[in-house]
Amino acid sequence: MRDRTGSPGLRNRARDGYAPPLITEVARVARDEKLELLKRIPLFAGFDRHKIERLGMLADEVDVPAGRVLMRQGEMGDDLMVVVSGEVGVERDGARLNTLGPGDFFGEIALIERGPRTATVVAEAPTRLLVVNHRDFHSLMEEFPEVAAQLLAVLAHRVRNLDTGAAH
């Protein structure tokens, strides 16, 4: 099948493994953006390229409408979420704590240990999220046992910085 210019039609080129350059470039940029967003999370900052790519394969992309409650304070949770686009509001005990946007993340405690959420988070605009769940993350730690050691080091550093008055 040929188009009006005499060249093979897009349908045939796609079937033959051809992808228009623009589509290929967009997919690569989106994948790279996903990996960069994950790499900026302190828990994952020490991951090498192979581990961050593996984590990227486990992260689901989810679009949510404005007004959607993503987590409720006190309810059990097991997901970490990264804002790709849009905006979410964070509340604790009914008081506004923060507004998060692209590159921000929440739910990292539940990723490590499932338990009650410490805040309520609501999408304030149409929002795209990357979601990593507890079970998938723990399978990553089984696949790469050194991830658990990296995670412990990050958590120890965070605890040390919380308690500045204590002897270390």
Sheet architecture: strand order including 120-123: 69-71, 120-123, 88-92, 95-100
Give the tens place of pLDDT for each residue, 55-114.
999 999 999 999 999 999 999 988 999 999 999 999 999 999 999 999 998 988 888 888
- Residue 72's CB is within 10 A of a number of other CB atoms, namely 15
Which stretches of the chain are DSSP H helices?
A: 10-15, 21-39, 49-58, 108-112, 134-143, 146-162
Longest dimension (CA), the chain: 77
Q: Output the pTM of the full model.
A: 0.74
Rounded Cα distance, 54 and 32, in Å? 13
| DSSP, res 165 | T
Amino acid, res. 19: A
| DSSP, res 59 | P
Closest listed residue to residue 66, CA positions, set 123, 120, 116? 123
- The domains located in the chain, with CATH, are 49-162 (2.60.120.10)
The reported pLDDT for the residue numbered 26 is 41
Give the tens place of pLDDT for each residue, 5-57.
343 333 343 444 444 444 444 444 477 888 999 999 888 888 899 999 999 99
Contact 43, 157 (CB under 8 A): no
